[in-house]
Amino acid sequence: MDFTETPSADQLETFPNPRPGRDYSIEIVCPEFTSVCPKTGQPDYGTIVYTYTPGDVCVELKSLKLYLQRFRNQGIFYEQVTNRLLDDFVAAAKPVRCTIVSKWTPRGGISTNVTVSHP
């Protein structure tokens, strides 16, 4: 995999929802997310939690893992990356609803959590 490649929604693969029409929730926890602070160039470490109700499709986990790994060399603020993750996920999977929470490892005694939701 080329880690210099920019992450995009088309890298997320899907498969048919096995229970379309049922209102159920899927939670995906990604505890090893890494990106780069655009101000300092230092690595940022966080846990990304996706909670979504699928529509017609579900997201395939290996493609999600590879997509997330593409952020490891990206200089991007917490707020921007969390919103970007939601935008790409919604574009690929078209969930009924989705919430993404990014929980960042403390730096300088300050921790940050960012929550975004669709719709």
Per-residue pLDDT at 108:
86
Per-residue pLDDT at 111:
94
Residue ranges in the chain whose pLDDT is less than 50:
none
Confidence (pTM): 0.93
Per-residue pLDDT at 90:
98
Three-state secondary structure of the chain: CCCCCCCCHHHCCEEECCCCCCCCCEEEEEEEEEEECCCCCCEEEEEEEEEEECCCEEECHHHHHHHHHHHHHCECCHHHHHHHHHHHHHHHHCCCEEEEEEEEEEECCEEEEEEEEEC
Contacts of 111 (CB under 8 A, 6+ apart): 103, 104, 105
Per-residue pLDDT at 8:
85
Per-residue pLDDT at 29:
98
**What digits encode the pLDDT tens for the residues 45-69?**
999 999 999 999 999 999 999 999 9
User: Sign of torsion, CA 38 39 44 48?
Assistant: negative
The two tokens of residue 57 are: 């499709």
Per-residue pLDDT at 76:
96
Per-residue pLDDT at 4:
61
Give the residue numbers annotated as catalytic, written as ranges. Answer: 37, 44
Per-residue pLDDT at 56:
97
Per-residue pLDDT at 104:
98
